[in-house]
Amino acid sequence: MKTLLAFLALTLAASAYSAEYDARVEQAVKLVEAGQRAQAMDFFFETNPYASVLDPTYQTQRAQFVNAPNQLGDLQYSRKIGEYKLADSVVIVKYLVVYDGQPLLLNFKLFRKKLGWVGSAMGFENFDEVFAELAARDLLRGNSTQADNSRPPTKTASPRN
């Protein structure tokens, strides 16, 4: 019985622990989805007053993050695609954010202090570059999906002058 109670207490503590940073990231994503990217960054970093002081590229990254999606069209949808933890002290959460023009990978990095989680980095990556890198890595490991060669290739029109 004591073992069961200890297990339940640990489970509840772990879910409360992850719920804290999950809620911060999810709220930032909701702001991005609403087109409020500057507010999303402000919200994400409000727990870390040192973010803009410690990182000399913060303002440049902020401007890129706020302005880049304007060139990509309307937001279609977003999905959480990964979460990576290091010793229950650092977490990186990745979202796929799909716009009319192309998808982006939105990254959130947080670290844990005594009193809770603090946002330390937020930004985006070009999905095409990251996907190509992941695909190449899988091919090197031998994890490839074989093309269906049972059907003949379809003919495509080629311009001939």
Q: What's the confidence (pLDDT) of residue 29?
A: 93
User: Is residue 131 a part of any domain in this protein?
Assistant: yes
What is the span of the domain harbouring residue 109? Answer: 2-141
The predicted-structure confidence for 119-156, as pLDDT tens digits, reads as follows 888 888 877 887 888 788 877 777 665 544 444 444 44
When divided into structural domains, the chain yields a total of 1
3-state DSSP helix/strand/coil % of the chain, to nearest 5: 45, 25, 25
User: Can you tell me the distance from the alpha carbon of 45 to that of 34, in angstroms, rounded to the nearest whole number?
Assistant: 18
The predicted-structure confidence for 1-37, as pLDDT tens digits, reads as follows 555 334 333 333 333 445 688 899 999 999 989 988 8
User: Is residue 33 a part of any domain in this protein?
Assistant: yes
User: Is residue 14 a part of any domain in this protein?
Assistant: yes
Nearest to 127 by CA among 82, 63, 90: 82
What's the CATH number where 96 sits?
3.10.450.630
